[in-house]
Amino acid sequence: MQQRSQSPYQKLADLEDKLRRANENIQRLKQENGNLQQTVVSFSPKPAITGLKQENSKPQRQVGRLEQGNKTKSRRNADDFSMLRLEQAASRRRGSPKYQELENTSSLRNRRTRKGRKKYYQLRIAALVLAALTVLWIIISAISSVVQLFNWSITAFNRQNTELLKQLPTTPLLPPDIPPGTHAIALPRPTDSKLQEAELIYNVTTPPQLKQSQQLQGIVDEMLKLIQSRYLPTQPLSITLINVKTGETAGYQQKSLFYPASVVKMFWMVDVFDQLHRGILPNEPVFGADLNRMIQQSSNDAASRLIDAATNTYSGYNLRGEKYDDWANKRRKISEFFSKAGYEGIAIHQKTYPISYLRHETPEGRDMQMWNDPKELKNQISSEHAARLMYEIVTGKAVTAEASAKMVHLLARDLRLSAWRENTARFGGFNPIRGFLGEGLPSDLDFASKAGWTDTGRHEVAFVRSREENGPIYILAILGGHEAYSKDWQLFPALSQIVFDRMSGKTPEKQQ
């Protein structure tokens, strides 16, 4: 009869039974070994002197070591026996057909697992590569969009700047003739005082979008080095430089506010032209003579009459209560005209002195009330204010293009020596070239400016244009609010020469 092959579970049961019997034999051997050790200890001779603990302890330690060694040896023998039996059983299983079938199935499963894992990693790598390519495409697209936007903005800016350059005054820019005589007629009052008292705001309500320039900043820094070399204070100083061709700017303490002296008259001129344009002030030719004298000769008399007409106020005796408040509110409107158009911190509603027709060497009456009021601002502007307004005038944006052309004509100066060195009577006692920016420039330039001087400071804003095709076109505004600037008659010409040379491409090395 053919013997039935045992199942794997029966084989495992037989193997466990054999292991159990082997463990019982091992335990029995361990017990017999322990009994044998006890017999050996009982037959060992006892020491003669019981007090010698050191000698008695030696056999005990030796017996302990022997017992420990026997236990270890027995444990090793049992382990070796168990491993031998397991290996024999495993060897028999490997030769069986069932084991071969299981082994083949396991091998196939392992191969499939390896193939699946390989495909998984391939798909994952492909997904990572695709994601990386997608991110790279997004980055390239974003960079391309930024570059296109930047190029578009540069093109738009250049197009806008080209249009602005077309609005510049025609060359050569020559000053107007001074009206004959010194007697001035009374200026007419506004046609509609209620319209004048309404909120009037300068038409250019946002500053020009100019870019900061490191090259221009280098020129300003060179100016500061010259100022410091002359031991002049730089704290009461404000400088703004604008390249009209490129729409770039730079400066030093551009927003710092200082008393501007007669530079403020350029602002009053713009306010008057605005009211003439709106029809508030009638008959422009009547105002022309005082506008001419206020700008060309820096006449305080003409400026006083124009302020009165533009604000519908008068200088005179003290006022009280509501009458003073009403008068002061009307006068402040000339400052609000610009402050509400982005000229932050500006105050230009106090007259300049002396005023001969009023016989006022300093403020008197209601003007002194305003001057002494601690809550009232004295006249103050920054170089940024002055440069911005000059920029808006020469580019035809102030009030209207026609009004801007008339204003830049009033600001024009003749730089020929014969026009300013000997003929000082033309300027009514104030020479806006000697000791100012125009003195340091060649005579064949278009030059428009408004200067101011007192014993406490020297100030000027100027538009400079070379008549050469590729020559520089720029605006420079300097406010020096200290008596040291008032006394230095060589500083402004030297600063002006530095700026013109650098804007023309001349470096200190080339000059040498």
The DSSP line for 196-242 is HHS----S--S---PEE-HHHHHHHHHHHHHHHHTT--STTEEEEEE
Cα–Cα distance list, 114 to 108, 119, 125, 222, 438 (Å): 10, 9, 16, 75, 89
| pLDDT, average across residues 339-365 | 96
Residue 502 contacts residue 221 (beta carbons within 8 Å): no
State how far the Cα of 191 lies from the Cα of 196, in Å rounded to an integer.
9
| pLDDT, average across residues 307-318 | 94
**Among 2-6, 34-38, 263-267, 403-407, the least confident range:** 2-6
State how far the Cα of 69 lies from the Cα of 82, in Å rounded to an integer.
20
Q: Can you give the pLDDT at residue 267?
A: 98
Token pair of 192 as six digits: 């509609």
Q: Give the β-pairing of 457-466 and 412-413.
A: unpaired
Q: For the residues of 45-101, what is the DSSP string, one character each?
A: PPPS-TT-HHHHHHHHHHHHHHHHHHHHHHHHHHHHHHHHHHHHHHHHHHTSHHHHH
Q: CB within 8 A of 239, min separation 6: which ones?
A: 220, 223, 224, 251, 252, 253, 254, 383, 476, 477, 478, 479
Question: What is the enclosing helix (H) or strand (E) of 174?
Answer: none
Q: Would the pTM count as exceeding 0.85?
A: no
Q: Can you give the pLDDT at residue 381?
A: 98
Q: Can you give the pLDDT at residue 239?
A: 98
Q: What percent of the chain has pLDDT over 90?
A: 54
Domain boundaries, the chain: 62-93, 102-166, 193-511
List, in sequence order, every residue forming a beta bridge with 466; answer none if it has no partner.
Answer: 445
Domain spanning 193-511 has what CATH number? 3.40.710.10
Residue 259 contacts residue 380 (beta carbons within 8 Å): yes
Token pair of 203 as six digits: 């038409």
State how far the Cα of 171 lies from the Cα of 465, in Å rounded to an integer.
9
